[in-house]
């Protein structure tokens, strides 16, 4: 048997390919950025062929770096961006339209109509999260009304729907069948993850034919081939991040700072019904389901870009942390980065960004510091909500993503949370998850206990503030949130 496994992380902004050996060492890596298309205001799309070409190029780069060919790879795993739906014809294997990404807002009017549907109060319980404009569910309802090719394929019975991982198997390989794992099925916002079946009343309301949807199976299964390599695992990107950070026990938590900041907490085998926090079936291995909580801020990386390009606070992103660390504190400033609203636990879309306490004595360094403080405050609000509503007790947080490269940002998160922040040097955790899961499928490792540890070193940031200092800062943040909400509704 070959001695290598491949993980492919197909994300919103790019595609990554990672090759591991049996000891979990990285032997090859490739990356290709992915262009997004903006054909109309609030529309965000991707060309399916471009997505496949990017993955093919990333794979070729990883193989070349490792000095291997496809024949040397025992199995492949894929992670997929979620709620970005791809549609193609089972007859031709060709896409029927561009992918609609999770960032697209064209379906906002459809969300407003949901309140009139008699079953909508069951949505969070069954789907695990609210079917907002980002959801593949509403994208498909829009497609069937506005894209004749999609509607005709649905009528004729040859429409196929899936996330990017399924499209890649179709475009670059041979599907064993139209199959998805449980995490990808739920991530289309069509699947009752508690009943482990598609929600029939919801499909009827959307007009989505069951025949267009993938059959659902375990996370490690036989999904087909990609470039001749057996595909043995599929998983959603954020669920994959949790697995790839070695967060496989209840209470383990990871935080990824990207365009937004995502927090995922392992729940073990329990799945509470919650109104404010997303609940996912993270993975299904050996008939054992692992669930997780997920919450996100509206902006992080996007706010950094705004501070750099619009406010001209710094020229390069790495300067943000240096600027913030140049002052001992924010000097009483409170920055609420609600540029597109507030998420968990506030769930207040009408909120907008605000800066409180500004005086003539403040500098750009104080603003930078207040922004990094705001990340810590938002994380505290999320984790407290998770503990209150779901009993998720987190004692340390693993972090990754662009902002985690800043020592100042990590230290302030530890300070405001009052817990250790752990930053691994290894960055490609999501692709690593796909490769590890593929290795389980290929028999490299018998079970999760045999999986190799994450390679590389890690840095731990211990909290420095007293409990009183933390609570005083957080109280100022809560006052600012109250004012922002009052302003938005006045």
Domain parsing of the chain, residue ranges: 4-227, 246-424+457-490
Note whether 4-227 and 246-424+457-490 share their fold. Answer: yes
**pLDDT at position 260:** 86
- Pairing mode, if any, of strands 261-268 and 288-296? antiparallel
Average pLDDT over all residues of the chain: 96
Name the pLDDT band for 299 (thresholds 50, 70, 90).
Answer: confident
Pick the more confident residue, 413 or 296. 413
Residue pLDDT, tens place only, 445-458: 999 999 999 988 99
Residue tagged 């907002």 (tokens): 132
**pLDDT at position 405:** 93
From CA 478, how far away is CA 484, in angstroms rounded? 10
- Pairing mode, if any, of strands 26-33 and 73-80? unpaired
Mean per-residue pLDDT, 208-234:
98
Output the pTM of the full model: 0.93
Mean per-residue pLDDT, 159-171:
98
Mean per-residue pLDDT, 75-101:
98
Name the pLDDT band for 176 (thresholds 50, 70, 90).
Answer: very high
Are 260 and 298 spatial neighbours (Cβ–Cβ below 8 Å)?
Answer: yes
3 state SS for 38-93: CCCCCCCEECHHHHHHHHHHHHHHHHHHHCCCHHHEEEEEEEECCCCEEEEECCCC
**pLDDT at position 486:** 95
322: nearest Cα among 204, 406, 417: 406
**pLDDT at position 484:** 97
**pLDDT at position 460:** 98
**pLDDT at position 276:** 86
Name the pLDDT band for 349 (thresholds 50, 70, 90).
Answer: confident
**pLDDT at position 275:** 86
From CA 166, how far away is CA 150, in angstroms rounded? 17
Q: Quick check: 218 pLDDT over 90?
A: yes
**pLDDT at position 38:** 96
Name the pLDDT band for 423 (thresholds 50, 70, 90).
Answer: very high
Q: Fold for domain 246-424+457-490?
A: Nucleotidyltransferase; domain 5 (3.30.420)
Residue tagged 């496949």 (tokens): 52
Are 430 and 406 spatial neighbours (Cβ–Cβ below 8 Å)?
Answer: no
Pick the more confident residue, 489 or 369. 369
Task: Please give the CATH architecture assigned to the domain spanning 4-227.
Answer: 2-Layer Sandwich (3.30)
DSSP string of 307-372, one letter each residue = HHHTS-S-SSTTHHHHHHHTSSS-TT-EEE--BTBB-TTT-BTT---EEES--TT--HHHHHHHHH
Mean per-residue pLDDT, 386-404:
94
**pLDDT at position 171:** 98
Name the pLDDT band for 259 (thresholds 50, 70, 90).
Answer: confident
Mean per-residue pLDDT, 361-370:
98
Q: Where are the alpha helices (DSSP H) in 391-466?
A: 407-417, 429-442
**pLDDT at position 298:** 81
Residue 111, Cβ density class (10 Å: 0-12 exposed, 13-18 middle, ≥19 buried): middle
Q: Quick check: 202 pLDDT over 90?
A: yes
Name the pLDDT band for 258 (thresholds 50, 70, 90).
Answer: confident
**pLDDT at position 302:** 87
With H, G, I as helix, E, B as strand and everything else as coil, classify residue 97: coil
Mean per-residue pLDDT, 298-317:
93
301: nearest Cα among 80, 7, 12, 10: 12
- Report the Cα 91 to chain-centroid distance in Å: 32
**pLDDT at position 466:** 98
Q: Quick check: 482 pLDDT over 90?
A: yes
């Amino acid at each position: 048997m070959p001695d290598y496994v491949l993980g492919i992380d197909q994300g919103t902004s790019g595609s990554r390919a990672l090759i591991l050996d049996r000891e979990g060492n990285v032997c090859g890596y490739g990356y290709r950025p992915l262009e997004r298309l903006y054909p109309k205001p609030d529309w965000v799309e991707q060309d399916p062929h471009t997505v496949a070409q990017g993955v093919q190029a990333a794979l070729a780069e990883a193989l070349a770096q490792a000095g291997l060919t496809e024949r040397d790879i025992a199995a492949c795993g894929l992670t997929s961006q979620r709620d970005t739906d791809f549609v193609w014809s089972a007859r031709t294997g060709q896409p029927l339209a561009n992918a609609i990404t999770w960032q697209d807002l064209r379906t906002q009017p459809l969300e407003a109509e949901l309140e009139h549907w008699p079953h909508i109060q069951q949505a969070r319980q069954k789907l695990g999260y609210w079917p907002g404009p980002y959801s593949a569910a509403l994208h498909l309802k829009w497609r069937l009304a506005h894209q004749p090719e999609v509607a005709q394929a649905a009528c004729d019975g040859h429409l196929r729907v899936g996330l990017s991982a399924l499209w890649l198997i179709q475009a670059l390989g041979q599907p064993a069948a139209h199959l998805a794992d449980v995490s990808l099925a739920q991530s289309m916002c069509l699947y009752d993850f508690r009943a482990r079946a598609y929600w029939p009343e919801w499909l009827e309301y959307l007009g989505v034919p069951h025949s267009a949807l993938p059959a659902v199976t375990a996370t490690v299964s036989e999904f087909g081939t990609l470039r001749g390599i057996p595909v043995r695992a599929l998983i959603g990107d954020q669920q994959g991040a949790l697995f790839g950070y070695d967060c496989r026990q209840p209470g383990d938590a990871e935080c990824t700072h990207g365009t937004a900041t995502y927090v995922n907490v392992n729940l073990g085998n329990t799945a509470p019904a919650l109104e404010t926090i997303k609940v996912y079936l993270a993975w299904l291995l050996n008939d054992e389901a692992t669930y997780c909580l997920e919450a996100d801020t509206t902006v992080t990386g996007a706010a950094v870009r705004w501070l750099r390009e619009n406010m001209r606070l710094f020229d390069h992103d790495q300067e943000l942390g240096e600027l913030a660390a140049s002052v001992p504190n924010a000097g009483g400033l409170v920055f609420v980065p609600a540029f597109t609203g507030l998420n968990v636990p506030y769930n207040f879309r009408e909120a907008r960004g605000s800066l409180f306490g500004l005086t003539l004595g403040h500098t750009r360094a104080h603003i930078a510091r207040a922004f990094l403080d705001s990340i810590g405050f938002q994380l505290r609000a999320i984790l407290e909500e998770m503990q209150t509503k779901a009993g998720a007790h987190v004692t340390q947080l693993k972090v990754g993503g662009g902002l985690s490269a800043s020592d100042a940002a990590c230290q302030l998160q530890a300070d405001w949370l009052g817990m250790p922040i752990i930053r691994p040097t290894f960055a490609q955790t999501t692709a690593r998850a796909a490769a590890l899961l593929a290795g389980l499928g290929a028999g490299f490792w018998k079970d999760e206990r045999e999986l190799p540890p994450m390679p590389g070193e890690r840095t731990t940031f211990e909290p420095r503030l007293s409990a009183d200092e933390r609570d005083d800062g957080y109280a100022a943040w809560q006052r600012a949130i109250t004012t922002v909400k009052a302003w938005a509704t006045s």
